[in-house]
Copies of this chain bind each other. A is one copy, B any other.
């Protein structure tokens, strides 16, 4: 089955953005494994707010991938680069994972991450901890959630102080 992969950055205290959504504290001086990660991905899924944010940085985000955008507006028309989907996110993602294909990147945002993590659908957690305590912001994990037993697969340290941990779900846990 295809792996659903959370690839995300957070502060040491677990925030993915400042309260207003700002990510000015993220390191942007290097690739931090992004290119390698993207080579194993053929599909992205994200919420519409996250997609709107991506559009601020790129005219066509994730141009060479199939991009699935969850929206609460069922009549939103898909484009060549953005496939709008409404309805049950968990059910949709479960079926998507059963289709043939490469890895699926769960881009965000926090609400969709929480739903899919709670359904035990995230196979790999690739989290880049930045050397900063923000003190407030949008949490990566906002409880109450469920327990997931993980296995540390990889650990990467960068000169900037960024620490990337790669965890996978332990197979003894029931799948989503």
Q: Which residues of A contact B (CB under 8 A)?
A: 12-14, 117, 125, 127, 129, 131-137, 140-141, 143-152, 155, 157, 161-163, 165, 167
Contact = CB atoms under 8 A, between A and B. Distances in A.
B161 A151 contact: yes
A144 B141 CA distance: 16
Contacts of A157: 152, 155
The complex is assembled from copies of this chain, and their number is 2
Contacts of A162: 152
Contacts of A165: 12, 129, 163
A132 B149 contact: yes
Contact of A132 (B13, B147, B161): B147
A145 B135 contact: yes
A132 B50 CA distance: 26
A136 B161 CA distance: 28
B163 A134 contact: no
Nearest to A13: B141
A37 to B, nearest CB: 19
A150 B152 CA distance: 24
20 contacts: A12-B127, A12-B165, A12-B167, A13-B14, A13-B141, A13-B145, A125-B133, A129-B165, A131-B149, A132-B147, A133-B147, A134-B147, A135-B146, A135-B147, A136-B143, A136-B145, A150-B161, A151-B161, A152-B161, A155-B155
Contacts of A163: 152, 155, 163, 165
Contact of A14 (B14, B146, B150, B161): B14
